[in-house]
Chain A
Amino acid sequence: MLDEILPAKIANALDSISYNKICELRLRNDSPIVVDCLGKRYFLGEDSLLESNENALILGKGVLSSIVQKLSNNSLYSINDQLIDGYISYLGGVRVGVCGEVVSVDGVLKTIKNISSLNFRFPHYIKNCSLDLFSYIYANGGFKSTLIASPPGVGKTTYLRDIIYQLSKDDKLYNILVVDERQELTSIYNKESIIKFDNVDVYSNCSKKFAFNNGIRSMKPDIIITDEINIEKDIEDIENALTSGVVVFASIHASSVADLKNKTGFKEILSKKLFERFVFLSNEGGVCHIAGVYNQNLQFIGV
């Protein structure tokens, strides 16, 4: 999939690794290339993964800028808003994190130049990985608003993606609105092609505020699904959705109940009982493994 983006040597080396195993690809200026395979990091060799950097492929100078140009289809302006937020969305839900020198004029961020590193995060689709959760989030003919928490890279997005899939194929034909701020949730590369979910309304590449406000008014959703909320920034919009009778499935970065409790604004979520279920994922029992399900008072109710 990245053959047109990456230099041939790197693309060929990646082709020798099973796509299902690759989670991340880290490219740094003038440094050995690092690949994260199922949570373990290796150096990328010409045709295999290496434990040491001795024969690792090294990224030449200036290559990163050309990769960014290609990621933008030679139209940097079309991705500059994303670039300012530190990432670029690419085909099939690939998210590319960008680091470099930030350019600002009069305190306003303009772009990132002299790009020094890129982090490609590859999406995966694990069909039916969320099925175990449905007994906790579905009761009396309705779904419970759920917040899925885990540290980065454990599978929140993969989990949400499967929830979208399960809901979209339900006979009840729910109105599902996906707020896909970073274009990761609904367009997914699956070895050979890009799968798009049917029966789902999608706002992509827009702020949650915009999507929540306009979506509720114009799309009349039963369920809103969104990724990586920021409690401080998004709580008002989520509260508005929940008090409008819409069920919300969202994810957040937090490794434990204590982490979640310490987040600014979380007390408000608890006191107002905005979410009825909290689900913690861990990678101890494999990707998308449920570590615990909690009720609206953050009391443990099962695994």
Chain B
Amino acid sequence: MKIFLLFLLFLFFICVAICVWFLYYIRFLLYKDMVYISKYLKNNISFNKKDIKTLLSETSKNISIFTRNLVFDENRNVFYFKKSDIEYVNEFFDSLGKGDVSWERNNIDFYLNTFEDMKQESCDSLHKNGVVYFKLILGLGLALCVMLI
């Protein structure tokens, strides 16, 4: 019975470790998707001048469900993103549709550069912090289980 409970405890630590790693992973996905969305908007705004809503809906099938919730779901519950990330992405979307084609392209370029930097930063963070925390939590769980045996 004790072994079984310890196994459950360790399983709990595994879940927490995965969740923490996943938070880093979806942040990376968010910026990866934002780079894709920015490039898609930039290329298509000047070509066929479809409105932003239509262009965004065209990108929806190629982005992660987490980003999709942030972009499309009005009653979004996106607790898994950092507030600062959400604010920056919203700032980008709020800035769209206010000028002519060349202004839009310059504006998207400005945000695209930042999104690419953030993608790189979140990728590094995933490989460093994400993996470290994953191992740390697993180690902690293992140590606790060993102590309790």
The answer to the question of B12 belonging to the interface, with a C-beta cut-off of 8 Å to chain A, is: no
Q: How many residues of B contact A (CB 8 A)?
A: 14
CA distance A75 to B50 in the complex (A): 8
Interface residue ranges of B25-58 to A (CB < 8 Å): 45, 49-53
B51, A74: Cβ atoms under 8 Å?
Answer: yes
When C-beta atoms are compared, the residue in chain B nearest to A78 turns out to be B49
Asked if B74 lies at the interface with its beta carbon under 8 angstroms from chain A, I say: no
Query: A75 — which chain B residues lie within 8 A by C-beta?
Result: 49-53, 96-97
Q: Does A110 contact B (CB under 8 A)?
A: yes
Distance between Cα atoms of A119 and B62 in the complex (Å): 41
Are A78 and B50 CB-contacts (below 8 A) given A69-B97, A110-B100, A111-B100? yes
* Chain A residues positioned under 8 Å from B51 (CB to CB): 72-75, 78
Say if the beta carbon of B116 comes within 8 Å of chain A.
no
| A77 touching B53, Cβ below 8 Å | no
Query: Which among A69, A73, A78 has the highest number of chain B CB atoms within 10 Å?
Result: A78
Tell me how far the C-beta of B62 lies from the nearest C-beta in chain A, rounded to whole angstroms: 20
- The A contact surface, by secondary structure, is mixed
Q: Report the separation of the CA atoms of residues A73 and B103 in the bound assembly, to the nearest whole angstrom.
A: 17
Which A88-125 residues sit within 8 Å CB-CB of chain B? 110-111
From A77, A78, A80, name the one whose CB has the most chain B CB atoms within 10 angstroms.
A77
In the complex, what residues of A have CB within 8 A of residue B49's CB? 75, 77-78
> Which residues of the partner chain B approach A69 to less than 8 Å between Cβ atoms?
97
Decide: A80 and B97 in contact? CB cutoff 8 A.
no
- List the B side residues contacting A80 at CB < 8 Å: 99-101
B101 touches A72 (CB 8 A): no
How many angstroms between the C-alpha atoms of A111 and B103 in the bound complex?
Answer: 11
Q: Mark A220-249, 1 if CB is under 8 A from B, else 0.
A: 000000000000000000000000000000
Q: Which of A69, A75, A80, A111 gathers most chain B CB within 10 Å? A: A75
Please, which residues of chain B bring their CB within 8 A of the CB of A8? Answer: none
Which positions 35-88 of chain A face chain B at CB distance < 8 Å? 69, 72-78, 80
CB distance from B141 to the nearest CB of A (A): 49
Q: Is the CB of A74 within 8 A of B52?
A: yes
Q: How far is the CA of A78 from the CA of B53 in the complex (A)?
A: 12
Given the complex of chains A and B, what is the CA–CA distance between A111 and B101 in angstroms? Answer: 11
Chain B residues with CB under 8 A of A110: 100
List chain A residues, Cβ under 8 A from B96: 74-75
* C-alpha spacing A173/B35, complex, angstroms: 50
Residue of B nearest to A83 (CB): B100
Q: From residue 90 to 112 of chain B, which have CB atoms closer than 8 A to chain A?
A: 96-101, 103-104
Question: Could you give 29 example pairs across A and B, Cβ below 8 Å?
Answer: A69-B97, A72-B51, A72-B97, A73-B53, A73-B97, A74-B51, A74-B96, A74-B97, A75-B49, A75-B50, A75-B51, A75-B53, A75-B96, A75-B97, A76-B97, A76-B99, A76-B100, A77-B99, A77-B100, A77-B101, A77-B103, A77-B104, A78-B49, A78-B50, A78-B51, A80-B99, A80-B100, A80-B101, A110-B100
10 pairs of A and B residues whose beta carbons are closest in the complex:
A75-B51, A73-B51, A75-B97, A74-B97, A80-B100, A78-B49, A75-B52, A77-B101, A77-B104, A77-B100
Inter-chain pairs besides A72-B51, A77-B97, A77-B99, 9 sampled, C-beta below 8 Å: A69-B97, A73-B51, A73-B52, A76-B100, A77-B45, A77-B100, A78-B49, A80-B99, A80-B101
Q: Could you tell me which A residues sit within 8 Å of B by CB distance?
A: 69, 72-78, 80, 110-111
